[in-house]
Chains A and B, each alone.
Chain A
Amino acid sequence: MDKYGDYLYSFALYRIQDDTTAQDLVQETLVGALKSKKNFKGQSSEKTWLTSILKYKIIDVIRKKYREPVLEEIDFESTFLDDHFDARGKWKTGPAKWESNPENLLEQKSFLDIVKKCIQELPKRQAMALTLREFEGETTQAICKVLNITTTNCWVILHRARSLMRYCIEANWLKKRE
């Protein structure tokens, strides 16, 4: 508990953004781990094992929270996406150039800060889908289950999330360079 408490708490807090729930999850994880101690075979480190238990508990919480579809959110975004293309599906202005060597951007803290900020500005459901995909490496099937949506909707949500992210990063990054 003293060894991993803060680590597990940070892990949960970042993903749930609610301190009471995060504390409860840490408790459930540790109690659960103590009960199923014999299942721990030492193939992974103790820390990895505890983290994986916590992860399942977090996904459960998210699943309950996002069960209800949020329709107005989806309507709003589809208009946003359509705005980028003309009637024949061609770019109106198109993506701007960010840097001659984009790999350099990965090393710039100011760029990564913009990425972080843009994740937070995404509509909640999109942020959840994209972070599960990119941070946790979950498959689309797993994400569909968590958000309780069809696979097709999942692809649509991820597409919108990436498109909004790209737009948000571009707007903030170009402004910063001016």
Chain B
Amino acid sequence: MINHWIFNCKDISRLISRSMDQKLPLGIRLGIKFHLMMCDLCLRYKKQLELISKSMSKIETDRQDNYPTAHLPDQAKKEIKKALGF
């Protein structure tokens, strides 16, 4: 447990990413929190990663609203219809 209080910035950058993918054990979460209280750069890093994640969600939502963007070529359409038995 004591070890968790001495994460360095390199550890923290890795753990911040990990925490976006799984729930970390309490000791580690406290270690991260403790480090972030003292380290502005890591806090900024964390916020920027969260912003990137939000941006990607936004890009995906915008894109879904904007379908269709590509059109099936006529030849492909014909073939698909044939395969479907129309």
What is the predominant secondary structure among interface residues of chain B facing chain A? helix
B41–A94 CB distance below 8 A? yes
Are A7 and B58 in touch, CB under 8 angstroms? no
A residues in contact with B62, CB < 8 Å: 112
State the Cβ distance, A29 to closest chain B Cβ, in Å. Answer: 10
Identify which of A27, A90, A165 contacts B9 (C-beta below 8 A): A90
Of the candidates B10, B41, B47, B71, the one having the most CB atoms from chain A within 10 angstroms of its own CB is B10
Q: Indicate whether A6 sits within 8 Å of B9 (C-beta atoms), given known contacts A1-B80, A106-B54, A106-B55.
A: no
Which residues of the other chain, B, contact A146 by a CB distance below 8 angstroms?
Answer: none
**Minimum CB–CB distance for B19 against chain A, Å:** 10
B33: Cβ under 8 A from any A Cβ:
no
Number of A-B contacts (CB under 8 A): 131
Contact residues of A with B, CB < 8 Å?
A: 1, 5-7, 9-11, 13-14, 19, 23, 26-27, 30-31, 34, 84-85, 88-91, 94-95, 97-98, 102-103, 105-106, 111-112, 115-116, 119, 130-131, 133-135, 140, 155, 158-159, 162-163, 165-166, 169-170
Residues of B within 8 A of A (CB): 8-11, 13-14, 17-18, 20-22, 41-42, 44-45, 47-49, 51-60, 62-63, 67-73, 76-77, 79-81, 83-84, 86
